[in-house]
Amino acid sequence: MAAEQQSIGDSGFLVDQPVSYCSKCTSSIDQSHQSIIRFNNRLYHNNCFTCGICHKNLNNSTNTKIAVDNNEPVCAQCKLANARMCYVCQKPILTDGSITFDTNTYHDDCFRCCQCQKLLIDETKLAKHNSKPCCITCYDKQFAPQCSQCLKPISTGKIVTCDTKKYHSDCFRCGQCNKSLVDEKDLYEYNSKPCCFQCYEQQVAPQCVECHKPISIGKVLGWNENKYHEDCFRCYQCNKSLAEQNS
């Protein structure tokens, strides 16, 4: 940060002088009488140029390696001691070039497909296998489940499972009317395909010979090739339920 102050120059006129401020203590730095240390586009007093972790003064010949942490100077020893470890090579990450994937951190050059070793830093879509990054090509070929509808691999996005079968979320539709079933609560199956409640009731469900309504929910009872709702299967004389006698 810089402001301006005025002083009398050699000519006897007032001259504007820049005023700088220390990034550590925020006090002004008199550039005409005090030494200024410039580091990472910031200014410091000599005594304020210290490690942000151990507070050791860095303005001496023994601290030639100075790193940056959260835009603050830190000595090389503290940077090494507090560095994150690369998940692949298990070496400290001392530069800003790192990537975090599934809570693990990698050097840029170590962030590669766990199968083909292709560099992944510029990939827009990634898959995961055993908590490791995997390129889409390898994942589709080796690990991705197959959608029961389109028969293509499910490499990204939500996987919908119904009766052990897996689907892309967009492929999980009624086999009769093609309505999306992702948010449906009542699901049925017809011809080995998922079926919505409306289609099952109108096109598939057997009709009760007693009430003449579709049997879409509950147990279906059969007698003499006729179908009944469990509650409709009664003696036509006394109206006693015969459901237990049919089981």
Residue 85 lies in a domain: no
Asked if the model's pLDDT at residue 34 lies above 90, the reply is: no
Highest mean pLDDT among 101-110, 156-165, 231-240: 101-110
Q: Look at residue 41 and tell me whether its pLDDT is greater than 90.
A: no
CA nearest neighbour of 63 among 37, 98, 34: 37
* Residues 6+ away with beta carbon under 8 Å from 225: none
Same domain for 6 and 31, yes or no, is: yes
CATH number at 175 reads 2.10.110.10
156, 188: one domain? yes
Neighbours of 70 (CB within 10 A): 6
Instruction: Give the model confidence (pLDDT) of 137-157 as tens digits.
Output: 999 999 999 999 999 998 877
Total domains in the fold of the chain: 3
Domain hosting 214: range is 205-247
Residue 165 domain-assigned (yes or no): yes
Residue pLDDT, tens place only, 185-243: 888 888 889 999 888 888 878 888 878 778 776 777 777 777 887 778 878 778 787 77
What pTM does this model have? Answer: 0.51
**E strands of the chain, at which residues?**
2-8, 14-21, 28-29, 37-39, 42-44, 66-69, 72-75, 98-101, 104-107, 127-129, 132-134, 159-162, 165-168, 187-190, 193-196, 220-223, 226-229
As to burial, measured by CB atoms within 10 angstroms (0-12 exposed, 13-18 middle, 19+ buried), residue 200 is buried
pLDDT grade for 9, boundaries at 50, 70 and 90: very low
**6 and 41 in one domain?**
yes
Report how far residue 93's alpha carbon sits from residue 96's, in angstroms, rounded to the nearest whole number. Answer: 8
Q: What is the distance between the alpha carbons of residues 169 and 188, in angstroms, rounded to a whole number?
A: 17
Please check whether residues 194 and 219 belong to one and the same domain: no
Q: For residue 43, is it within any domain?
A: yes
Answer yes or no: is 54 within a domain: no
Residue 77: per-residue pLDDT: 82
